[in-house]
Amino acid sequence: MFKWIVGGLATFFSIRYLSRLQKASTNITSRIRVRIHKVNLTGIELKAMVQLQNPNPVALRLQHPFVRILHKNKLLGSSTVENAVIEIPENSQKDFDLHIQSAGWLTLIQILGTEAVNQIRNGKPIQLNIQAQIITRINGLPYEQTDTMTLQL
């Protein structure tokens, strides 16, 4: 009889803990800023500043974030994939600076058009509407957020 009581209590506390982790992973807040880092012979190098905030009283474990930059649902560039698990303590935040290498100039011409690419190469002011997508796993659960923003050169 004692084994059943201990087993029931262990099950209850395990389910309670797992439900708190799941709720905590849905309460995470992410912010992303993207800017042009440099223009070189291979294409455009972007820099993404990702901030993940954990407003929960529980520490979270997350996979290193992966960022994709899209223009009209076509991939402009992405960050590198890192196989690292990071812990964000309770009520804190973690900042990531990610370099994003765009596709080559030919692909950029196909996606943006020749006029936009010529303006970028010549350093003229240009505004591009992009979508920045953050993909990660928080406590083993998939997390994805897409933000629409304007990229200025």
Q: Residue 51 pLDDT more than 90?
A: yes
Task: Decide: 104 and 38 in contact? Cβ < 8 Å.
Answer: no
Report the pLDDT value the prediction gives residue 19, as an integer from 0 to 100: 59
Q: Read off the tokens for 72.
A: 């009209």
Report the pLDDT value the prediction gives residue 9, as an integer from 0 to 100: 65
Task: Decide: 102 and 45 in contact? Cβ < 8 Å.
Answer: yes
Q: Read off the tokens for 30.
A: 């992410």
pTM: 0.77
Structure confidence by residue, pLDDT tens digits, 111-135: 888 888 888 888 888 888 999 999 9
Q: Residue 24 pLDDT more than 50?
A: no
Which domains does the chain possess? 2-152 (2.60.40.10)
How are the residues of the chain apportioned to helix, strand and coil, as percentages rounded to the nearest 5? Answer: 25, 50, 20
Task: Decide: 67 and 36 in contact? Cβ < 8 Å.
Answer: no
